[in-house]
Structure 1
Amino acid sequence: MLYKSIVYSKIMHILIIFLFLLGGFSMEGKAQDLKPIVNKVVEKKLSNGLTVLYYPYERGDVVTVRLCVKVGSAYETEKEAGLTHLIEHMIFKGTETKKPEDIVGAIEALGGYMNAFTSYDYTCYYAEGPSIITEKALDILSDVVFHPYFDPKELEKEKEVVIEEMKMRLDNPFVVLFENIMKATYKTYPYRRPIIGYEENVKSFKREDLLKFVNQFYVPENMVLTVVGNISEKKLFSLINKYFTDLPQRKLKIVKFPEETYTDKPTLVWVKRPVKEGYFAFTLPGASFRNEDAPYLDLLAQILGGGESSRLYLKLKRELNLVKTISASSFTPYGPGVFEIFVTADPKNFKEIVKEIGEELERIKEGGVLEDELEKAKTQILSDFIFSAETSDGLSGTLSSFYLTRGTYKDIIWYENKIKTATPEDIKRVAQKYFNLQKLVAGFLSEKELFNEKEFQNIINCIKVKKTAEVFTLNNGLKVILYPQNDLPTIGLTLAFPGGLRFETKETNGLFQALSLLWTRDTKNHTAEELADKLESIGATIKGFSGRNTFGLKATFLSSKLDESLNLFKDIILNPSFNEKECEKAKPELISLILMQQDQPISLAVNDFLREIFPGHPYGLNIAGNIEFYQRFTSKDLISAYKKFVNPEKGTLVIVGNFDPLFMKEKIEDLLKDWKKPLSEIEIEEKEPPEPKERYKKVEKDTFQTQILLGFQTPGLNSKEKVALEVLNAALSGQDGRLFRILRDERSLAYTVTSFVIFYPKKSAFVFYIGCSPEKEKEAISGFWEILENISKNGLTEAEIKKAKNRLIGKLKIGLQSNISIAEDMAVNEVLKLGWNYSSIYENLVKSITQEDIKNLISKYFKKDKAVLFILGK
């Protein structure tokens, strides 16, 4: 239902973040001065005790009206559990003067919407929309909150709805685990009960129960009305006086909360469910948001598990691959808080995960945090204040939450100052205070119980701190990234540089293909045969690679053959021969790449299309190279390219696998100490690609099918739109993509229809492709435009966006399993200026893409007058 509790309408990690936002704050971004925001707030207390917070919002003609009551599930008795949440549902079911359809429907008719949520500490009702809804919102909120009718017939129906919501939650492993671990974490405090309550309670509630509870807590002095909108102060308070002056006289019930002691020994909670995934949660005692330590705990959560560059994610996901997802948050509500860590993983890894997380907590207690990572956490946290101020809804939520938990919205400045002035010593002190593993509660949800509490306690008691990996730069400028993965005795290594197709010309097209192939053929110390024999005898491979944007070397070998493999790798890096005889032997191999392309109409079409969309530019060259170049290149050409592009200052070396980082660092420093940077550096950068000269081209070719490509120049891989382009492509392509479903499944136009993106740093090409019979050509092209226009107008469906995101995230995870794939991914991303840990933040980037991002992308770049249509066929 529209106004169901937000807390129970999200998947677990969103749920946890939301609870955190209700009780405390999880804020990300650039540290800014928040005083100008706070100083614009107008606070007034009406004669009946109701506090009003008003912020003149000038960014747009919108308003958010939020009425919050300082009563949540924590204020209930055991027999009342679920009553607050049920009231939230029933508030929208009508008053003595308004029918249900006159409430939400009235706001929607003006272009806005209404919603509500229940938390442990308070309940909020709100409306958001264009400014014209202000009076209607104030009218409706004052009526439904202070004069609810609670019709008995509607109540019986809504109780059934809430019970169905309970049953729905029982099918959600995240929620089931969360509620079980909260029950085990809190010994006495009412946070141990689920917000939604218990089925038997909900069934028993009568109209009188709801009215009694409302009369006890829905008291003006126990509320805050927050209005953030484009409306004058005079007009707003005139309306507030009109609708919120004559309110029922009620006496506020005072609730006394118990003290919370938490557990005094490591506690295990295991929930057995027939699930496919494994779910895991850690809790440790935390702080109330009223406590001075709360901001420091937020910083700790950000550093440990606030994102995909956090310590826990990099260690347990990226380095050890023990988890599928991991996050940390500090639940800092009005009452006693909790520090939380949530994980999804294969249950067979649970023991190892407990150990690794425990070690990281102990490591931060012992060694504290680095100044750089603390500054990054501050930047990430404080920006949420700034970003929340961009929207009326976000800012109203921030102001209301601070008022309800701290007693004043002005404590936004307190929080800001605490974050800004936090020192590594503050963080270490707080970690030592709260990270007591003897008070840890661990919850697991899986198909079967794998170990008991005694075994769990033994793991905790044996935890020791281990050293982490390193990133450093050699004297010659080469960046080195060491990433231990000690589960298998293998090592993957990648050395990458800027290069590839984007630095070729029409005359040198194929240079990097030839360079990467011949780089590893022989050296000044070993013939091709000798080199191949030595590598094969130790089970190692060293190969060159070249793409559109980068080139370099890749190696895989057993960790037991580390010395031999690294010595051969050094020889290939520093002493390539590029022997003329080997060049001649390689030419047929390289020319074969072109000949195979020419046998495939789709390859011919793609090559010709790229030449049209990037005219006269390297981006439009053939990735396989050019026959004329392959026929005439010499050893001198490759030596010249090697000297120009194999520059340590431009390179990144990534080593992933079974090794000790300290030993490996010393090894690499010694191994490459003779690799000098060039005396004079040549600045290498491709030019900006021009606009296409022709928008339509048809090439006659005697084929059974017509190859149709419709494409656009779009932003490059370093642009902010990159991930949005990938999400759009994932939604369009594939067997479940919109192109396939409509043009193949529904209209039977082709066997193959898809889309793809070819990325370069400065621009990319987004391409629609279909291979169909000549008579279907016009219908196919019309189909492309029909789909684009529909998405431009209506966007993608939520299901399409979700599937597209899952495809991208799944593809990334599948592709980053082997040591060499991880090494190549890190090295290439670093060289392309995405950052070596780009893949670790990619999932969050994908998840952040919205419907509006997609629609804006299409409206901005996918215009008919910007399209290039290429047809190859009869």
Structure 2
Amino acid sequence: MTRSFRWGAAFLFVVLFCSPAFAVTRHVLDNGLVVLLEEMPSSPVTGIYLWVRTGSATESPYIGSGITHFVEHMLFKGTSRRGVGEIPREAKAMGGVINAATGYDHTVFYLSVPGENVLRGMDLLADMVRAPAFDPAEVEREREVILKEGRMLRDNPARQFSEKARERFYQVHPYRYPIIGHEDLFRAITREDLAAYHAAYYAPNNMILSVAGNIDDVEILAQARALLGDVSRASVPLRDLPDEPGKIFAASFVEEYPTDLFRMGFFYPGVPLAHPDLYALDVLAMALGDGESSRLYRDLFEKRRLVDSVDAVNDTPLDRGYFGITTVMREDRSVEVRDRVLAIVQDVQRRGLRSDELKKVRRQVEAMTIRARETAEGMAHRMAMEEAFAGDALFSEKYLAGVRKVTNQDIRRVAREYLRSDRVTSVLFRPPQEEGKDAEGDLLGSPVGVEKKILSNGLTVLMGADRSLPLVSVRLFVPGGMQIDPLPLEGLSTLTARVWDKAFAGKGGALIRREIESRGGAFSVGPGYTADVLSFDCLSQDLPFFLGILRGFLLDPSFPQEDIIREKDRMLTALRARKDSVIQTGLQALKEELFLTHPVRRDPLGTEASLGAMTRQDLLRRYRATLDAGRMVLSVFGDFDPEKVGDILERDLSLIPGTSTEPVRSSEEPPRSPRLRELRMDKEQAAVLYGLRGPTIYDKDLEAMQVAVNVLSSPLGGRMFQRIRDELGKAYTLGG
């Protein structure tokens, strides 16, 4: 994977890459506030980011308490001008989406709004950061909300593994403390502490305002001066954090956690963002652990089946980071995994990467370069992040150039220097051992005209050309879905989808994945209750190649037996992993209680028994049952020639049979009386889930119901959220 920064309680922040030509304007107000602007005339939405250069690593004298995260929460709880609940309501009223996140080195508040409401949106965010109320009663309510958030995070094995690994890897640096804080220290935070911390760090000379969209730079800059220009510059506490010493020996740790899965990670001392070895280490991480053609995936998962997932990341925060390799296993294969990881690393140290691997990574970065400019929110985010972490809102240009210059000699050198087996910290996260055992539409407008074409076999094609970016997105909807699965073979649609895109006649899976990933593209098949969706996104120059891949998967998929076995194992692993989630376990139980016979009640992952009974012939029958061109819809949107693409589709996809069978519609009478199910789990949190029978996609009340659900349950602004979380402080997560 690419290098990353850790976000708030639940975010992973991946650096974005800008294209070589764009017009960012940078201004610094007299009080030190940095203002970054980019005009995007075609964008119907404007992204506004207020970035504060403080995170959980800079909490001294409250280090380890989570006070940064607490302050972030409290800024939503009212100001001198706005009461409790008014901030999310106002954001929603202007058609916006508002949120915030806390990281180790930053706190960020962001709002996306229709372009005509950008000035109102800026006023809302500015009011939040400069005049929070810190009402004592709201402080205590939000304290309980955050305590519930902590319980939710402690019930998440992947999150706990990440935090334990950091705690073991970092010995002195504050990156070792959880962002949400340790509970005893968090409980000791007072209202006065919150106000003092806010006064110390939320100064204009410690903040960045970033705005992108269909904006007028002069107007936005004037609004920034009016809203924040009169705030006085302050003496922000010096960032004086202890240097994490280099490792002088290897260390190994075993942690136990109530889960059915094993997690193992290898963490090597890395570099900070500003280090010149950033580029080579990033390329190495991508080649080792990004995608199904990566070295670790092909060896540990495909070839040896030692793991169920594997990943590599070069984590580069402001201070020293780490190079990490993480795996998930259903059984304890830690010794074998360790040996293979070390062997693969040693091979890179000796021989480096192949030329095709280097080329693939460069192509992936170039594709990401263009995608980073697709949305105003993404641009505003990127500008603020790069200014904060690199001191340069145009850092992505330098980053892309740096990646292009990486040679195989660089790869061998950084692998030898940093990935040393005598300095690695390994962490195994395992289940407890037995005693004695080891261990919305019109507002957005219609910028793209849609052309409808019916192929000779009845397949419907929708095409919309948009030449603003050299990207194309393709989606093929194949009606059927889980509702047509035979009852004894619950999960068949999911297994079919997982194996469908592995190989087709004339092309093996490994070759297909290498060719797809070398072009920076993505191809997938997703199962649903009423339809399967085949989708891909690519650079426009690669569209003919991907249409050929689509043709192969549609007309002659292989469904290799070895992939069927592997995907069955992964689904079994997912079934086990879901046992750790209170919400997911509860949702499945709710469906089973609300629907007694309807296919919606079925578990998309199936059961151990149904997975064991499935054969390759079942997958082939399932595939053939959905192959009906008369009911398929293909959409193509982006930078392409509709006439040429239409000819290709007629030539290639008209071979699909078109029987135009009637769609399957399942029905079941709603419950005549309430039904209740209680499940007991060994967890710190509890979940309450209510299910009501709603309209179908054919019902005239569908849109009204969608609006009602949004009014009740939308994050921050929904009535349930305001009453249960904001007013009563009785829950952390709510939804509908």
- How far is the alpha carbon of 1:6 from its aligned partner? 9.1
Structure 2 alignment gaps of length 5 or more: 440-483, 485-504, 512-529, 536-546, 558-570, 572-587, 602-621, 630-651, 668-694, 711-736
Secondary structure, in 3 states, of the residue corresponding to 1:314?
helix
Partner of 1:422: 406
Distance 1:712 1:161 in 2: 39
Say whether 1:745 aligns with 2:614. Answer: no
Say whether 1:385 aligns with 2:387. Answer: no
Partner of 2:290: 306
- How far is the alpha carbon of 1:721 from its aligned partner? 13
Q: CA 1:239–1:369 in 2, change beyond 3 Å: closer, same or farther?
A: same
Say whether 1:152 aligns with 2:133. Answer: no
Q: Which one of 319, 327, 342 corresponds to residue 326 of structure 2? A: 342
Q: Which one of 42, 48, 52 corresponds to residue 69 of structure 1? A: 52
More RCO (CA 8 Å, sep 6+)? 2
Q: CA 1:405–1:261 in 2, change beyond 3 Å: closer, same or farther?
A: same
Secondary structure, in 3 states, of the residue corresponding to 1:93?
coil
Distance 1:320 1:788 in 2: 53
Instruction: Note the alpha carbon deviations across 1:506-527, whole angstroms, 9 max, x for none.
Output: xxxxxxxxxxxxxxxxxxxxxx
Instruction: Note the alpha carbon deviations across 1:484-526, whole angstroms, 9 max, x for none.
Output: xxxxxxxxxxxxxxxxxxxxxxxxxxxxxxxxxxxxxxxxxxx
- How far is the alpha carbon of 1:767 from its aligned partner? 6.4
Distance 2:591 2:665 in 1: 16
Instruction: Note the alpha carbon deviations across 1:432-473, whole angstroms, 9 max, x for none.
Output: 111111111111111146999xx99xxxxxxxxxxxxxxxxx
- How far is the alpha carbon of 1:238 from its aligned partner? 2.0
TM-score, length basis structure 2: 0.62
Secondary structure, in 3 states, of the residue corresponding to 1:347?
coil
Partner of 1:319: 303
Q: CA 1:784–1:172 in 2, change beyond 3 Å: closer, same or farther?
A: closer
Q: Which one of 384, 392, 417 corresponds to residue 408 of structure 1? A: 392
Say whether 1:292 aligns with 2:276. Answer: yes
Q: 2:49, 2:211 within 8 Å by CA — same for their partners in 1?
A: yes
Distance 1:189 1:713 in 2: 46
Partner of 2:21: 36
Structure ranking higher in helix proportion: 1
Q: CA 1:166–1:653 in 2, change beyond 3 Å: closer, same or farther?
A: closer
Secondary structure, in 3 states, of the residue corresponding to 2:333?
helix
Q: CA 1:61–1:261 in 2, change beyond 3 Å: closer, same or farther?
A: same
- How far is the alpha carbon of 1:714 from its aligned partner? 9.8
Q: 2:113, 2:121 within 8 Å by CA — same for their partners in 1?
A: no
Structure number, greater radius of gyration: 1
The letter for the 1-side match of 2:39 is P
Partner of 1:51: 34
- How far is the alpha carbon of 1:100 from its aligned partner? 2.7
Distance 1:264 1:788 in 2: 68
Percentage identity across aligned positions? 26
Q: Which one of 184, 199, 202 corresponds to residue 218 of structure 1? A: 202
How do residues 488-567 of structure 1 correspond to structure 2 at under 5 angstroms?
A: none
- How far is the alpha carbon of 1:287 from its aligned partner? 0.9
Instruction: Note the alpha carbon deviations across 1:191-244, whole angstroms, 9 max, x for none.
Output: 111111111121111121112112221111111100011111122122112211
Q: Which one of 83, 104, 122 corresponds to residue 88 of structure 2? A: 104
Instruction: Note the alpha carbon deviations across 1:825-867, whole angstroms, 9 max, x for none.
Output: xxxxxxxxxxxxxxxxxxxxxxxxxxxxxxxxxxxxxxxxxxx
Say whether 1:762 aligns with 2:653. Answer: yes
Q: CA 1:450–1:287 in 2, change beyond 3 Å: closer, same or farther?
A: farther
Instruction: Note the alpha carbon deviations across 1:288-323, whole angstroms, 9 max, x for none.
Output: 111111122111111000111111011111111111
Distance 1:269 1:450 in 2: 18
- How far is the alpha carbon of 1:280 from its aligned partner? 1.6
Distance 1:376 1:174 in 2: 29
Partner of 1:544: none
Distance 2:345 2:252 in 1: 18
How do residues 447-462 of structure 1 correspond to structure 2 at under 5 angstroms?
A: 447-448=431-432
Instruction: Note the alpha carbon deviations across 1:264-292, whole angstroms, 9 max, x for none.
Output: 22212211122111112221111111111
Q: CA 1:448–1:241 in 2, change beyond 3 Å: closer, same or farther?
A: same
Q: Which one of 238, 256, 260 corresponds to residue 244 of structure 2? A: 260
Instruction: Note the alpha carbon deviations across 1:310-367, whole angstroms, 9 max, x for none.
Output: 1101111111111111111111111101111221102321111111111111111111
Q: Which one of 684, 687, 698 corresponds to residue 786 of structure 1? A: 698
Secondary structure, in 3 states, of the residue corresponding to 1:213?
helix
- How far is the alpha carbon of 1:742 from its aligned partner? 7.5
Partner of 1:178: 162
Structure 1 alignment gaps of length 5 or more: 28-32, 457-601, 603-649, 657-709, 749-753, 774-782, 799-874
Q: Which one of 308, 323, 345 corresponds to residue 361 of structure 1? A: 345
Q: Which one of 96, 99, 105 corresponds to residue 115 of structure 1? A: 99
Partner of 1:459: none
Q: CA 1:206–1:271 in 2, change beyond 3 Å: closer, same or farther?
A: same
Distance 1:77 1:166 in 2: 21
Q: CA 1:78–1:248 in 2, change beyond 3 Å: closer, same or farther?
A: closer
Q: 2:308, 2:328 within 8 Å by CA — same for their partners in 1?
A: yes
Moved more, 91-100 or 711-720: 711-720
Instruction: Note the alpha carbon deviations across 1:22-41, whole angstroms, 9 max, x for none.
Output: xxx266xxxxx82312xx00
Q: 1:718, 1:762 within 8 Å by CA — same for their partners in 2?
A: no
Partner of 2:126: 142
Distance 1:792 1:376 in 2: 47
- The root-mean-square deviation of aligned C-alpha atoms, in Å, is 4.1
Say whether 1:437 aligns with 2:290. Answer: no
Q: CA 1:307–1:450 in 2, change beyond 3 Å: closer, same or farther?
A: farther
The letter for the 2-side match of 1:757 is T
Secondary structure, in 3 states, of the residue corresponding to 2:200?
helix
- How far is the alpha carbon of 1:54 from its aligned partner? 0.1
Q: Which one of 180, 184, 197 corresponds to residue 196 of structure 1? A: 180
Q: 1:188, 1:260 within 8 Å by CA — same for their partners in 2?
A: yes
Distance 1:410 1:6 in 2: 21
Distance 2:102 2:215 in 1: 28
How do residues 270-281 of structure 1 correspond to structure 2 at under 5 angstroms?
A: 270-281=254-265
The letter for the 1-side match of 2:37 is Y
The letter for the 2-side match of 1:252 is V
**4+ runs deviating over 4 angstroms:** 449-452, 650-656, 710-717, 720-723, 735-744, 763-773, 787-795
Partner of 1:333: 317
The letter for the 1-side match of 2:598 is D
Distance 2:194 2:321 in 1: 29
Secondary structure, in 3 states, of the residue corresponding to 2:82?
coil
